[in-house]
Structure formats: structure tokens, C-alpha cells
Amino acid sequence: MLPGCPGARKHVKKKKATDSAAQNRASRRRLIGLAAATALTAGALTALVPTAAQAGTDVQARTAASSGSSARQRAFTAAAAKYHVPVSVLLAVAYQESAWDAHAGRMSTSGGYGPMHLTDVTPAMLAGGPAGMVGRADLAARAKDPALHTLRAAARLTGLPLAELRDEPTANIAGGAALLASYQQAVAGGRSVDAGRWYGAVARYSGSSQRRSATAFADRVFATIRSGATRVTQDGQRVSLGADSKVRAEKGQLSGLSLTGVAASAATECPPEVSCTFVPAASSNGQVSSRPANGIRIDTIVIHDTESSYESAIATFQKAGGSSAHYVMRASDGAVTQMVPTKDVAFHAGNYSTNLHSIGIEHEGYAAHGGTWYTEAQYEATASLVRYLADRFGIPLDREHIIGHDNVAGPSSSLVSGMHWDPGTSWDWEHLMSLVGAPVTGEHGVGPVGSAVTITPGFTGNQQTVQICPGDDPTGATPSCAGQQQASNFVFLRTAPSGTAPLFGDQAIHKGTAGTDRISDWGSTAQAGQQYVVADVDGDWTAIWYSGTKVWFYNPDGSNTTPAHDVTLVSAAGNAPVSVYGSSYPDRAEYPAGLSPSTQAPISWYTVPAGQAYVATRPPVNTDDYFTSGAIVTGARQMYTVQYNHRVALVYSSDVTATGA
């Protein structure tokens, strides 16, 4: 497709028009059911078109749903009877864990399998998941947390094979019932037909060691028992739980669970104009620290979207084995739930080095829905929160430090293509940066070759057409791939100065083939606020250095760019290409005895060839590492963070020459 042309724009500074549509987004938000409850962030680009098998599966699921099989209902009834668990308790726990969906043997985004969310987290999952712990020697130790292996506990209790508990819904339900029964035995010394007397066992099933988190889960379960629920699952199973308004939970049982309270220091950390409450995430989904007092800097804020409802995101972060974020923001009114103290590390970005130095903010919404969930209330509350955090921790207000999940570096060569793409193409970066007090100022235009520019295409007028496929939309509202024109935050990048030239294909995703206009294909776009070095100009087209090559975008009269100043340009110090990294660990020899070194290697897909230049907005910083024991290792070498392609990347300062611009 041709790059979007938002119409004739003068070669002058644009005035930000009020987006009346944005102000009214809250009133037209799409109401999405609980079917997406287990999805958390816009997923990796795994396939450019749906396969025939996937399409067939979708048809089968819809056909089954119309009839509504009762097999799963019978499985809950049988398991409850076998393990002497009130069926209402078993059904309500499963409803909160999975909305009774089976996931066909697939692990959910929060680390669990099947309707009962039985966890079995491996070191490889921690390496490539939200923790982004590839190369870390403490992977195996962290993966041993019992909260991450309830599947294995269920296997011991039932005698069923692990594979069966993972893949077969009936076995999975039996495993969950056996776990609940064992918890009830430990809490109450025996089982009861009174559902209210299972409150302690339900709280323990949450997997949380924190009182507020365990209590919140148990309260949701008992609210479900009182209200009842009925649903047809994604694979066509009709399941019902009748309402029991008379059930009374015995909350006194919590005293026997050895739960930890929330310290005063874990009170909400929000500006006064933001409505904020604290609900702790599962302890296994992060790392206790004392940043920045212990010397671990906080220099980045990462913007995410939840790919689920606000409530589902909070519930998912409370489950052991998955991800967490410091803050979760509601779409309708910008209310915030803080889930991790800022002093602690949250597992949100899929890159441990980024997690170590960042704060994550999740926003209720779906990246494929054209920004309809991103309300003005969210933008304004986010801006207040970002300003508060930036002032408190000295975070630069630029797009190398206020970034999206889609801008986070891949920590290793094998993980680059699988990095997430939220908050997506319809997050209005120019609006947010204006609200935080860091708007792009100056006249639109493009400077000479070798100068820096900021991408500033506007938003409402920057209408781009993208392909949206079922795999991009967890709500199920996209039955087949289709083009959709949306207000967008990016310009498309091409291999030559022509609207018919192929889109640039990121090396890690496309391996030498052309890019696509799929909404999740981040590799062929430059995003608002990002800064690059001008490589060439040809009529209405501007070229920049990007991902180790020269790429082109439509830029008549510089209408999509603003000259950038007060930045640093880095280029190869010699004639050899410079290695590019996704993490920032000290050298092996710099770790003291008793601490196993983390390791890193250059990203094999990327280099900075001689003659190219990239933008850094901050001086280089020392490499470092952090251990659960509290130990910190600081390396002697320093690394720059640069805007390398759609994502940031790291280069050693000793490998490059830096000049001002």
C-alpha cells in the first residue's frame, strides 16, 4: 500500500488540534467479555496470516458453542464429589482462574494450564517471558518456587501424569479439586459441605503469600458464588454456577495461612490528582529491591496495554508464575491500581535489564482496536503519573526513556522477533508527550544529511491502513484478516524512495524478505517521538539510518518530521561494524566470588555499520546486575542506549564515537 498522506501541511510548526473523538472515547468503548481474561499484552508477531487449520479451529469452536456441550460441567461435578469439595467452590475458583476455558494444553500468559490454572514454570519460560531473564545464572533457582509448580503437586495428589493434567480439561479439574482439598485439610483439619468454611483454602489457592492479594482473590471467588455465573467457553462448553446469596465466608481462617501484610512503605505512590489504590502482585512475578537507594537507577517508564479488562489484568498479576506491572490504569476514568512498589523490580518488559531500571504502567485496552480504549482520562492520568515519576527519579522526558513495550530491546537474538507490540499503532505519543510537558517544538522540516530529526506525523490526521488478523485481537472481534484505516502514531518505512517499493523487513522477523502492513509487524515503522539521523533526501522522501540500513519514508516538505537538537549521535569508532546488544551486564571477570555471572551476546541480526549514525539522548551508563540476595555488581564499561530501529538497543561506548547535534 502507499504510505498515508495526511493532506497538505505547511512547513510550519503544527498546532495540536483538540481530538474531540479522543475526549468521547469513554462513551464508545467496546464492551468485551471475559473471554480474553488470560491475555495480558499484545503478543509477538508469530505469523503474518492465519493458517487454514487455525481458521478451521475457529469455525469448529463457534459450531460447538451453538450447541453448548455439558461435558465440562459434568467434570466439575465429578471432581467435586471425588475430593469432597463443594461444587460451588470448585466452579467459582475455576471461573476466576480461567473463565472455565481449557486453553487446549497451552500455558496462559500468567503461567498456568487448563481451567484450574495449574502452574508448571520452567527456567526457559522465565528466560523468554516477562522476566526476560535470558543469560542469568539464577534462572534455575527462581524456577523452583513451589508456587510455580502446582501442576506437579496435583500430579502427586491424583497420581495422574503431568501431560494429562496439562492437556486434558477433565484431569486438570480433578487436579485442582485435589489441591483445594489438600489446602482445606491443612487450614481446617477436615473438609466441610459448607462452602463458607473453604475461604482459607481458596485464599491459599491464589498462590500469593501476601494477605491483600490472597484476600482479594478469595473475595472474588465468594462474590462469584453469591452472584452465580453462566458461560459458553471458547471451545463450546456450557458451564453454570447457581447463585448462593446466603454463603458466609469464614475469613478468620486467614490467620492460619502465614500471610504477610503490606508494609506502610508499600502505600500507593501516585500524584494527588490520580485516584490510586494498592493491591500487591504475586511475589514470584517480581523481585524485592530498594531502588534507587541501593544504587540501582530508575531511568525508564514503559507504557503497556493489558489486552484484557482492567479487573482481569489485576487478577492475572496476582497469579504466581507470570508477569506484573507497577501500575494498572482503568480506561473509563484513569483510576490506578498500584501492584508493585517502585523500589521493587516488576517483570513486565520481557527484558531483565529493562525491568531492572524501569517502571511499568499497564493501560486497560486492546492494541488492535484503533485506540478506542485509550481515553482522554487515561492520557491525562498517565501524564500526571509520568511527570510525578520522572521528577522523583530524574527520568528524562524523551522517547528513549518514556517508551512503549514495543520499543523495548530484545534481550537475545532468539527473542527479538517474539517481543510484544503493545500499546500499538494507535497510542497517541505526541499527545502524551505534550501532556507531560515535553512536546516537540519547532517548525516541521528536515535538516541536512547527518542531522537528527524527530518523527512527528501527528495522530488524528495521520490515517494509515493496517492489516488486522485474528491473532492480533484476543477479543474474538476480528474473524478474518482485513485492512483497517486508523489514526496512527507512525510512518511506514520502505526500501527505496517510492510508494511502490517494498516495506523494510526487520532482519529478526523477516530474515531478508519484505515487511508487511500487519498491525503487529513493528519492524517497518518509525514512531512518533523517535529520533533518527538523516541519511538522504530525494524529493518528497527522506531516508534515515535504521536497523543497520538506509530506509525511506514519505515526508513532503518535512511534514512528518521536526529537526532535533541537543542529542548525541553515535557512530562506529573504526571501520568495523559495531555490535548491538539487548542487555547490559558486567563482564564475567567483574563478578565477585560466590555470584554466578549473567551472560550476554551481541544481537546477531543487528550491527551499526561504519558510516552510519544513531541518536542517543543521554550519556552512557555503567553496566550492572542485581541479585535476590541484594548484591549489586557494577561493571567498569559503559553503554549508550540508542534509537536503533523501532526499538532501542545498547552499544558499548568504547566501540563508538559520540558527537553532539
**Closest to 528 measured CA to CA, from 42, 14, 8:** 14
**Closest to 485 measured CA to CA, from 453, 519, 434:** 519
Sign, CA torsion 550/556/559/560 = negative
pLDDT over threshold 60, residue 62: no
Residue pLDDT, tens place only, 539-554: 999 999 999 999 999 9
pLDDT over threshold 60, residue 28: no
Q: Look at residue 104 in the predicted model and tell me its pLDDT.
A: 64
What is the spatial distance between Cα 396 and Cα 299, in angstroms, rounded to a whole number? 7
Read out DSSP for 377-395?
HHHHHHHHHHHHHHHHHT-
3 state SS of 598? coil
Q: Look at residue 312 in the predicted model and tell me its pLDDT.
A: 87
Q: Which residues contact 435 (CB under 8 A, 6 or more apart)?
A: 379, 380, 382, 383
- Residue 427 · residue 404 · CB < 8 Å: yes
Q: Which residues contact 659 (CB under 8 A, 6 or more apart)?
A: 568, 569, 571
Confidence of residue 32 (pLDDT cuts 50, 70, 90): very low
pLDDT over threshold 80, residue 24: no
pLDDT over threshold 80, residue 470: yes
Q: Look at residue 315 in the predicted model and tell me its pLDDT.
A: 87
What is the spatial distance between Cα 39 and Cα 365, in angstroms, rounded to a whole number? 11
Least confident of 60-69, 158-167, 649-658: 60-69
Q: Look at residue 12 in the predicted model and tell me its pLDDT.
A: 31
Q: Look at residue 111 in the predicted model and tell me its pLDDT.
A: 67
**Closest to 363 measured CA to CA, from 351, 353, 344, 348:** 348
3-state secondary structure 69-123: ECHHHHHHHHHHHHHCCCHHHHHHHHHHHHCCCCHHHCECCCCEECCCCEECCCH
**Closest to 386 measured CA to CA, from 351, 434, 340, 333:** 434
What is the spatial distance between Cα 345 and Cα 326, in angstroms, rounded to a whole number? 8
Helices vs. strands in the chain: H and E counts, helices first: 16, 29
pLDDT over threshold 60, residue 13: no
Strand 286-287, strand 345-346: pairing: antiparallel
| Chain centroid offset of residue 293 CA | 26
State the amino acid at position 356 in one-letter form.
L
What is the spatial distance between Cα 582 and Cα 352, in angstroms, rounded to a whole number? 10
- Residue 166 · residue 116 · CB < 8 Å: no
What does pLDDT average to over the chain? 87
Confidence of residue 495 (pLDDT cuts 50, 70, 90): very high
Confidence of residue 261 (pLDDT cuts 50, 70, 90): low
Least confident of 54-58, 482-486, 623-627: 54-58
Cα 415-418-423 angle, rounded to 5 deg: 125
pLDDT over threshold 80, residue 56: no
Residue pLDDT, tens place only, 98-148: 889 887 656 665 568 899 989 888 888 788 888 899 999 888 888 888 878
Sign, CA torsion 459/462/463/464 = negative
What is the spatial distance between Cα 643 and Cα 532, in angstroms, rounded to a whole number? 7
pLDDT over threshold 50, residue 167: yes
% of the chain with per-residue pLDDT over 90? 72
Neighbours of 258 (CB within 10 A): 9
Neighbours of 242 (CB within 10 A): 11
3-state secondary structure 404-427: EHHHCCCCCHHHHHHCCCCCCCCC
- Residue 545 · residue 504 · CB < 8 Å: no
Q: What are phi and psi of 157, to 5 degrees?
A: -75, -35
- H-helix or E-strand containing 632? strand 632-643
Residue pLDDT, tens place only, 270-300: 999 998 999 999 888 999 999 999 999 999 9
- H-helix or E-strand containing 212? helix 211-227
Q: Look at residue 256 in the predicted model and tell me its pLDDT.
A: 86
pLDDT over threshold 90, residue 269: yes
Query: Could you tell me the three cell numbers for 524?
Result: 517497518
